[in-house]
């Protein structure tokens, strides 16, 4: 009874239905679409950045593992001769360590059995298979600190990177070489730049004192 009296007392213009008009519905759909598109785009960028950062941390951990193996006098069960007095390290080569599309998507973890501070393929010093980056991450370039062409993709002689550790020093032995094993035209420290499918970058820098940092 009260509702009927209230309805009669209200002007006709105020007696609207409780639903949305077509215009209101279109506005709501448009706003929702914009918000969802922005969220999806931001999520994709965040996932891309997280992917390359994760791969950079894993690379840094492998370099740190080489350092720990050397300082901890880890036994080289696969090699002959002195199984304890050896170094450990990682090796990157822009000509040999490439995957589909000719991009560097892998590196080698190795035992430096002849203590020459570089990776030797004959006899092969690698430990296990080459380590391949996942989810489309590749090595965009690796660089030294000085020189006219300090990076391997600068049309200079730099082609190879060797980072090794030997006891009792925690320092890194960094060799930036050309394809023939000579001087690559630059000097340490060394920085390895990783790139994701979406173009995000992360880098691992190794100082001669053995410090490893992610940038």
Quick one: average pLDDT of 2-11? 51
- The answer to whether residues 206 and 212 touch, using CB atoms and an 8 Å cutoff, is yes
Peptide bond into 33 cis (omega under 30): no
pLDDT averaged over every residue in the chain = 88
Could you give the 3-state DSSP secondary structure of residue 107? strand
pLDDT for res 59? 98
Looking up tokens 């492998």 gives: 62
- The answer to whether residues 6 and 15 touch, using CB atoms and an 8 Å cutoff, is no
Q: Does an H or E element contain 205, and which?
A: strand 201-206
d(CA 143, CA 201): 14
Close Cβ partners of 215 (under 8 Å, ≥ 6 residues apart):
191, 202, 203, 204, 205
| Sheet of 106-112, strands arranged across | 131-132, 106-112, 87-93, 160-165, 173-177
Looking up tokens 């239905």 gives: 17
The domains of the chain, with CATH numbers, are 40-214 (3.55.40.10)
Model confidence over 63-80: pLDDT tens digits? 999 999 999 999 888 776
- With a pLDDT cut of 90, the percent of the chain lying above it is 66
- Per-residue pLDDT for 2 more than 50? no
* Lowest mean per-residue pLDDT among 11-15, 39-43, 48-52: 11-15
User: What's the start-to-end Cα distance of the chain, in Å?
Assistant: 74
pLDDT for res 25? 79
pLDDT for res 6? 45
Quick one: average pLDDT of 98-116? 93
d(CA 190, CA 174): 7
- The answer to whether residues 136 and 196 touch, using CB atoms and an 8 Å cutoff, is yes
- Per-residue pLDDT for 139 more than 80? yes
Residue of 174 and 146 predicted with greater confidence: 174
């Amino acid at each position: 009874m009260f509702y009927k009296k209230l309805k009669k007392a209200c002007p006709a213009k105020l007696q609207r239905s409780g639903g949305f008009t077509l215009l209101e519905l279109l506005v709501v759909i448009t706003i929702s679409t914009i918000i969802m598109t922005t969220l999806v785009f931001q999520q994709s960028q965040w996932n891309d950045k997280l992917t390359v950062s994760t791969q950079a941390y894993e690379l840094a951990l492998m370099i740190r593992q080489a350092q720990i193996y050397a300082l901890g006098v880890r036994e080289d069960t696969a090699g002959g001769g002195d199984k304890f007095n050896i170094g450990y390290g990682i090796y990157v080569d822009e000509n040999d360590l490439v995957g589909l599309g000719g991009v560097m998507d892998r590196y080698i973890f190795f035992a430096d059995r002849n203590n020459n501070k570089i990776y030797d393929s004959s006899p092969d010093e690698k430990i296990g298979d080459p380590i391949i980056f996942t989810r489309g991450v590749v090595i965009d370039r690796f660089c030294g600190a000085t020189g006219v062409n300090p990076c391997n993709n600068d049309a200079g002689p730099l082609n190879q990177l060797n980072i090794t550790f030997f006891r009792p020093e925690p320092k890194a032995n960094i060799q930036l070489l050309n394809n023939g094993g000579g001087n690559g035209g630059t000097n340490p420290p060394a920085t390895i730049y990783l790139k994701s499918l979406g173009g995000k970058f992360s880098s691992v820098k190794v100082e001669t004192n053995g410090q490893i940092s992610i940038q």
